[in-house]
Structure 1
Amino acid sequence: MTNLRWGLVGASTIAAQHMIDAFRANDGEVVAVMSTNADRAAKFAHEHRIARATTSLDDLAQSNDVDAVYISTTNELHRDQVFAAAKAGKHVLCEKPLALTLGDARAMVAECHARGVILGTNHHLRNAATHRAMRDAIHAGRIGKPLFARVFHAVYLPTHLQSWRIEKPEAGGGVVMDITVHDADTLRFVLDDEPLAVSAMTSHGGMSREGLEDGVMGVLRFSNGLLAQFHDAFTTRYAATGFEVHGELGSLIGRDCMTQAPKGDVLLRSAAGEEGLKISHENLYARSVRLFGDAIAGRGAPSASGEDGVKSLSVAVATLEAARSGAETAIDLKV
């Protein structure tokens, strides 16, 4: 579906840097932006050539010239904003995590189903060409049975993005809700399997306030027996990102691929030697928006559905509990 008219809930950095261009790349139009700060909304609208700015969620959601709503506010606000959009009959693309609790996330999915609107979760990494190539190689049996996976997603959080992510537990701050939830979704997508349990430890490297983690390491146990290690952080300035899957017959080595940019490569190692997988890069967010429009038109599902958002949140919730308890923690995958 092309020519979607979008309303932005949140005058956010990700909307400015990625999503507005993604909407327009799919022949969409951004017709309104909502922020509780009137000056911020007006400035954002002016800078990004958006016709209307408002401080009212209901005004935006109920507008006749809005077909779909993109929500990129802080995490504790998502639930009520999704409900307002769904009540108005608007399709919703929501940033991750869907909510702070599994109960709220499940209620959001149920509400959108009941209202007959599409709910997508903006997990961009499953749209990366590298991860799609890895998934295809696994499905084709090129590494045999997958045995282990490793995700390296330790980065340095830029100053302009720190704010609530390192200061406000009540807003869902911390590295687990910000990054580990992405790892969970990407692992679920690439492996085409569900994690059953997690063990984890968190750390405080000096960036986040007391009570919020800025680093984490953990291990996920998947239903097929595979173990997946993850390392996430806000505090590592020089680390490279990567995604590896090791199987009985070969290994897939993804490099520089846990990123918003359409880049990275994948190396297949096996008895036959080394081979670079063919990668056709595409803007991750533009692809997400395209598939969301297709879902509205009845052609498939969003790249990451509301149900995917619930399941990936369940991994983050269990990771925090595992770190608190020091015990392997079951993951509640119920949607």
Structure 2
Amino acid sequence: MNWALVGASTIASQYMIGALRAQGGTVRRVVSGSADHAARYAQEHDIPHSGTDLDAALADEAVEAVYISSTNEKHHAQAMAAIAAGKHVLCEKPLALSLAEAREMIAAAEAAGVALGVNHHLRHAGSHRAIRETIAAGRLGRVLSLRVFHAVHLPEHLRGWRLDNPGAGGGVIPDITVHNADTVRFLLQEDPISVVAQSASSGMGQGVEDSAMSVWSMPSGAMVFSHESFTHPYTTSGLEVHGTEGSLIARGVMAQEPEGALELVTADGRSALPFDKTSLYETAVAGFMRAARTGKTPSASGRDGLLSLMIALAVRQAADSGQCQTLEYGAAT
């Protein structure tokens, strides 16, 4: 599959270009807001064509798919242009900044008969797939609670608009809460019915939140606690799933690398759970390309992106208002 990169981003440089090529893909074009940056990026990554003109890239008949990793407020317009040009679209999270934009993108892709996927990489980790299988097999019994701790220290090279530009989609909620939402949805196979939350700017955020905590009520009766931050340099990420027959402790798994450790705790004692260490991004790209080729739904679909965005926006509204937010999914499905 021939690809165009829309956004000469760090994540594309570090992970996605390699993942696309690992699946036999060709990166044919890169589009950036800066011609100089695009040219340097293309030279560094051996990409034949670069520039600032998205329309020109989309007019290239050899381009079959685009990967969008521009700033968040650009996702909608760029995806809509790509869909109109008949290209498959793999978009970084969040899918859009509003539910209306996300719904429009999903409808357009369905009408055009192209695949629309969201790069929610965590559900493609071997660790998370092993957790999902453990829950589905009933080894934990009935799930009572799930705790996600995704407080990190935002790396220097990722700072900038995430910390000071709400118009571009800055803040820890659109950056990390959407990941937590997709992870919880994937692991529990259900969507929260209500959320309460608080957020804060604890040293890095300027005009946006850099830390948030929220509690979600699930239809099954399970409770979810989600903690995300940009300001914690000395901790580790992970999650815990607690059920009537056991607990699963995951450390270091809320990451871009296939790392971490899983421990299952039951009446029989403690045991380590093995998991696949394949690149998260290679797994995600392989699944997306299969879906695009076969007409099937990507493993992290536009609908998944919409629902994770819906949850994140409810968390932000709960934090801003100090009131519990009820989620209604009828119009989102």
Cα distance in 2 between the residues matched to 1:205 and 1:196 = 29
- Aligned twin of 2:188: 191
What is the rounded CA distance, in whole Å, between the counterparts of 2:156 and 2:91 in structure 1? 24
Q: 2:22 aligns with which of 20, 25, 34?
A: 25
Q: Given that residues 115 and 295 in structure 2 are in contact (C-alpha distance below 8 angstroms), is that contact kept between their aligned partners in structure 1? A: no
**Residue in structure 2 matching 1:177, options 174, 178, 183:** 174
Q: Distance in 1 between matches of 2:58 and 2:295?
A: 24
Residue 296 of structure 1 corresponds to 292
Do the aligned partners of 1:34 and 1:55 also contact (CA within 8 Å) in 2?
A: yes
Residue in structure 1 matching 2:258, options 245, 253, 262: 262
Q: How much has 1:52 moved relative to structure 2?
A: 0.3
Residue 152 (structure 1) aligns with: 149
Deviation of the 1:300 alpha carbon: 4.2
Q: Say whether 1:50 aligns with 2:41.
A: no
1:230-269 pair list within 5 angstroms: 230-269=226-265
Q: Distance in 2 between matches of 1:278 and 1:233?
A: 28
C-alpha separation in 2, matches of 1:46 and 1:188: 40
2:98 corresponds to which residue? Answer: 101
Specify which of 110, 117, 120 is matched with residue 117 of structure 2: 120
* Aligned residue identity for 1:156: H
Give how far 1:194 is off: 1.1
Task: Tell me what 1:70 maps to.
Answer: 67
Distance of 2:11 and 2:185 partners within structure 1: 24
TM-score, length basis structure 1: 0.97
Determine if contact 1:249/1:270 at 8 Å carries over to the other structure.
yes
Identity over the aligned pairs, expressed in percent?
50
Deviations 1:101-157 (A, max 9, x none): 011011111111111100000000001111100100111000101010000100000
Hey, what's the Cα distance between the residues in 2 that align with 1:238 and 1:278?
26
Offset at 1:299?
6.9
Relative to structure 1, the CA distance from residue 103 to residue 300 in structure 2 (aligned partners, 3 Å threshold; closer, same or farther) is same
1:91/1:299 Cα in 2 relative to 1: closer, same or farther (>3 Å)?
closer
TM-score (structure 2 length as normaliser): 0.98
- Take 2:274 and 2:13, find their aligned partners in 1: how far apart are those partners? 31
Aligned to 2:199: 202
Q: Which amino acid aligns with 1:174?
A: G
Cα offset, 1:222, TM superposition: 1.1
- 1:236-269 per-position Cα deviation (integer Å, ceiling 9, x unaligned): 0011111111001000111110000011121110
Q: Which sections of structure 2, spanning at least 5 residues, go unmatched?
A: none
TM-fit CA distance, 1:301: 2.8
Q: SS of the counterpart of 1:297?
A: helix
What is the aligned partner in structure 1 of residue 129 from structure 2?
A: 132
Q: 2:194 aligns to what SS in structure 1? A: strand
Instruction: Point out 4+ residue stretches in structure 1 off by more than 4 angstroms.
Output: none
